[in-house]
Structure 1
Amino acid sequence: MNIDALEKMLAKGNDSAMLRFGLGKAYLDDKNIEAAIEHFKHCVAQDPDYSAAWKLLGKSHLQMDDKASAESAWQSGLEVAMRKGDKQTEKEITVFLKKLKK
């Protein structure tokens, strides 16, 4: 789905964590990092257990060269992934955090 279609859904009041994640991912892919961050933040505010959103929020912050915010998002995502048993996201975030600290 393209950004315009997702934005229309949001404008109609269909706000949800999944929609915000989709918008965040679409904007991230489109290199509109500020918009991606905004939507990922809304996503995790609506569903703090959305570990994939925390992961991409961290990646977005890193692309803006905001290492502290990236680390914070990834720490939150790591806690969620570990609690939920989301092993793949846990592994990915662990790698991101190790690279960040180098």
Structure 2
Amino acid sequence: MADMIARFEAMLEAGQDSPMLRLSLGNALVAAGRSEEAVAHLEQAVTQDPAYSAAWKLLSRQLLAIGEPARALQACERGIAVAREKGDLQAAREMEVFARRARKQMEPPSSQP
């Protein structure tokens, strides 16, 4: 995995930046347990291509993974709209699940009497 990450980073340094490269690097970083680093690249992917539903989906999931439910919910909402517009209904459904998880994480803890 480290070799793949290094190759993707070398491509970025060589000026070959693209949403697909950012998503690929994000995926590799997630697989290596480096979710926080992945988030930065996934945010770049959706900045470069706001209609990239796969990047929105992975970004949403990773924001939840690093304990950022409010940001995850925002990403889910944008990603769901993009996915529905493109007809990517499976991605939209997955992000709806992430959105529910984000809302649940944002709820204040219930107090027991």
TM-score where L is the length of structure 2: 0.85
Segment of structure 1 superposing worse, 62-71 or 1-10: 1-10
Distance 2:43 2:71 in 1: 12
Query: 2:62 matched to 1:60?
Result: yes
* Aligned equivalent of 1:73: 75
Aligned residues: 102
**Match for 1:66: what amino acid?**
E
Distance 2:102 2:68 in 1: 11
* Aligned equivalent of 2:14: 12
- What do you get for the CA RMSD once the two structures are aligned? 1.2
Deviation at 1:31, TM superposition (A): 1.2
* Aligned equivalent of 2:109: none
Deviation at 1:60, TM superposition (A): 1.2
* Aligned equivalent of 2:28: 26
Deviations 1:12-40 (A, max 9, x none): 11000000010111111111122101100
| CA radius of gyration, larger in | 2
**Match for 1:21: what amino acid?**
L
**Match for 2:27: what amino acid?**
K
**Structure 1 consecutive aligned stretches of length 4 or more whose deviation exceeds 4 Å:** none
Distance 2:97 2:59 in 1: 15
Show structure 1 runs of 5+ residues with no match.
none
TM-score where L is the length of structure 1: 0.93
Secondary structure of 2:17's aligned partner: coil
* Aligned equivalent of 1:38: 40
Percent of aligned pairs with the same amino acid:
42
Deviations 1:26-69 (A, max 9, x none): 11111112210110011001000001111111111111111000
Secondary structure of 1:49's aligned partner: coil
Show structure 2 runs of 5+ residues with no match.
105-113
Q: Give runs of aligned pairs for residues 79-94 of structure 1, distance below 5 A.
A: 79-94=81-96
